């Protein structure tokens, strides 16, 4: 706005500068203050002990003793609310499907090729899948996490309402596995979500699927690569991995008949159809090893080429049992393919 004749132009100019500075500070400060909003537990340690007793056969005094040194870490809540997997695939993919991980993975699979052969013979899970998983999780043990597991699980059980029940159970599993495996409750470190080792198993997965492959009396998913490889293979086997089937196929163009396609995409992996139904709806036949009898679904990914629709086999769903993110499953499939995966 132009100044009136009674206003002094120079003085008004300074006033506008002051106002602009104040306004800028307010705009900048508001999100800063929002970011610094205090994060606190909604469950007391006493309340959490009571909930843990439904899952752990330990006395109130023992559970209280275990939790007394557990520290609430607000940063863990913030990281849970901003996971890598929430990014569009075009940003997520380069983090894992890259030359560095390919080089590391090829070296890893070659070095442990005899173990991979024995694991495949027992569980029917290809080495390329296991190699992709271990690469994405920890770069083959190089990045196992620096958060204290007790603090992570305590924080999430007591301060993350949306998944408090889940993390309370995981805390219970953690307390039990520490006792079973004679581990240090205080020294165990891993991810902010409570996963640990080269495999990044959460406590319940460790207790259910970790394998003592070399029969030394310990399921070592930190440093023993025989146990590590067999444990991942066992997990996928138990979740019904099909070694004869593919994982995912990116469509270059949408179906000409959109009705069934739209219905499947909306339900994604919650409902499965025979691939032959998509053929009947206008999809051109996919190359081998895809078969019309395969049960498939359709998922959507935001790639650098734009929105892409992907035909996925139930093997894709098996990967989401490890990590429920479609981004994670697709990156695993792409990385495994780059390693030479074939059904």
Residue indicated by tokens 């998944």: 163
- Rounded Cα–Cα distance for residues 101 and 95 (Å): 9
Does 2 score more than 70 pLDDT? Answer: no
Residue 71 burial (C-beta neighbours within 10 Å; 0-12, 13-18, 19+): exposed
Same domain, 275 and 314: yes
261 vs 48, more confident? 48
Residue 28 belongs to a domain = no
Give residue 19's pLDDT.
39
Structural domain includes residue 319:
yes
Give residue 31's pLDDT band: very low, low, confident or very high (50, 70, 90). very low
Residues 6+ apart with CB under 8 A from 73: 147, 151, 152, 155, 192
**Is 170 labeled as catalytic in the residue annotation?**
no
Residue 8 has pLDDT above 60, yes or no: no
Q: Which residues contact 90 (CB under 8 A, 6 or more apart)?
A: 302, 303, 304
Q: How confident is the model at residue 258 (pLDDT cuts 50, 70, 90)?
A: low
In this structure, are 137 and 262 located in the same domain? no
- Give the per-residue pLDDT at 128: 98
For residue 182, tell me if it sits in a domain. yes
Q: Tell whether 226 and 296 lie within a shared domain.
A: no
Q: For the chain, how many structural domains are there in total?
A: 2
Which of helix, strand or coil describes residue 247?
Answer: coil
Range of the domain at 136: 38-238
Gap between the Cα atoms of 225 and 116, Å rounded: 10
Among residues 128, 137, 226, 334, the one annotated as catalytic is 137
CATH of the domain at 311: 1.10.530.10
| Helix, coil or strand: residue 291 | coil
CATH code: domain of residue 204: 1.10.8.350
Task: Give CA separation, 114 vs 108, 172, 226, 228, 233, in Å.
Answer: 11, 36, 10, 14, 14
Tens of pLDDT, residue by residue over 41-63, are 999 999 999 999 999 999 999 99
Judged against a pLDDT cut of 70, whether residue 102 lies above it is answered with yes
Q: Is the pLDDT of residue 7 over 60?
A: no
Q: For 311-335, what is each residue's pLDDT tens digit? A: 999 999 999 999 999 999 999 999 9
- 202: in domain: yes
Say whether both 292 and 184 belong to one domain: no
Query: Do 71 and 203 lie in a common domain?
Result: yes
User: How does the average pLDDT of the chain come out, rounded?
Assistant: 88
Q: 68 and 147: one domain? A: yes
Alpha-carbon span 163 to 74, nearest angstrom: 15
Output the pLDDT for position 49. Answer: 97
Looking at the fold, whether 201 and 55 belong to one and the same domain comes out as yes
Give, to the nearest 10 degrees, the angle between helix 99-111 and helix 127-138: 130
Q: Which of 238, 262, 277 is the last residue of a domain?
A: 238
Residues 87 and 105 both lie in one domain: yes
Contact (Cβ atoms closer than 8 angstroms) between residue 183 and residue 176: no
At 105 the pLDDT is 98
Q: Do residue 165 and residue 55 come from a single domain?
A: yes
Give the model confidence (pLDDT) of 87-100 as tens digits.
999 999 999 999 99
Q: Residue range 145-154: average pLDDT?
A: 98
Q: 104-129: per-residue pLDDT in tens?
A: 999 999 999 999 999 999 999 999 99
Q: Determine, yes or no, domain membership for 30.
A: no
Q: Are residues 205 and 283 located together in one domain of the fold?
A: no
pLDDT band, residue 196 (cuts 50/70/90): very high
């Amino acid at each position: 706005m132009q100044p009136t004749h009674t206003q002094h132009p120079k003085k008004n100019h300074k006033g506008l500068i002051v106002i602009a500075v104040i306004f800028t500070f307010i705009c900048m400060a508001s999100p800063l203050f929002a970011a610094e909003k205090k994060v606190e537990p909604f469950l007391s340690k006493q309340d959490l002990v009571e909930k843990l007793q439904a899952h752990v056969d330990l006395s109130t005094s023992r559970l209280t003793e275990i939790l007394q040194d557990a520290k609430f870490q607000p940063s863990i809540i913030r990281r849970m609310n901003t996971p890598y997997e929430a990014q569009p695939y075009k940003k997520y993919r380069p983090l894992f499907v890259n030359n560095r991980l390919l080089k590391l993975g090829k070296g890893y699979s070659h070095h442990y090729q005899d173990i991979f052969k024995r694991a495949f013979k027992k569980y029917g899970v290809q080495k390329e899948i296991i190699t992709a998983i271990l690469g994405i999780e920890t770069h083959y043990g190089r990045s196992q996490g620096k958060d204290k597991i007790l603090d992570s699980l305590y924080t999430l059980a007591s301060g993350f309402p949306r998944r408090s029940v889940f993390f309370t159970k995981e805390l219970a599993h953690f307390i039990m596995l520490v006792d079973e495996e004679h581990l240090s409750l205080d020294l165990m470190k891993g991810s902010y979500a409570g996963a640990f080792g080269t495999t990044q198993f959460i406590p319940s997965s460790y207790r259910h699927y970790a394998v003592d492959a070399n029969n030394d009396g310990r399921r070592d998913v930190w440093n023993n690569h025989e146990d590590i490889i067999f444990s991942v293979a066992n997990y996928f086997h138990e979740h019904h991995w099909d070694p004869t089937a593919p994982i995912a196929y990116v469509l270059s163009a949408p179906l000409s008949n959109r009705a069934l396609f739209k219905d499947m995409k909306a339900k994604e992996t919650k409902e499965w159809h025979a691939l032959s139904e998509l053929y009947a709806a206008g999809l051109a036949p996919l190359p081998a090893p895809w078969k019309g009898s395969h049960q498939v679904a359709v998922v959507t990914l935001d790639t650098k080429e734009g929105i892409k629709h992907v035909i996925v086999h139930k093997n894709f769903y098996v990967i989401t049992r490890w990590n429920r993110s479609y981004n994670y499953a697709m990156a695993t499939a792409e990385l495994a393919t780059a390693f030479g995966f074939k059904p």
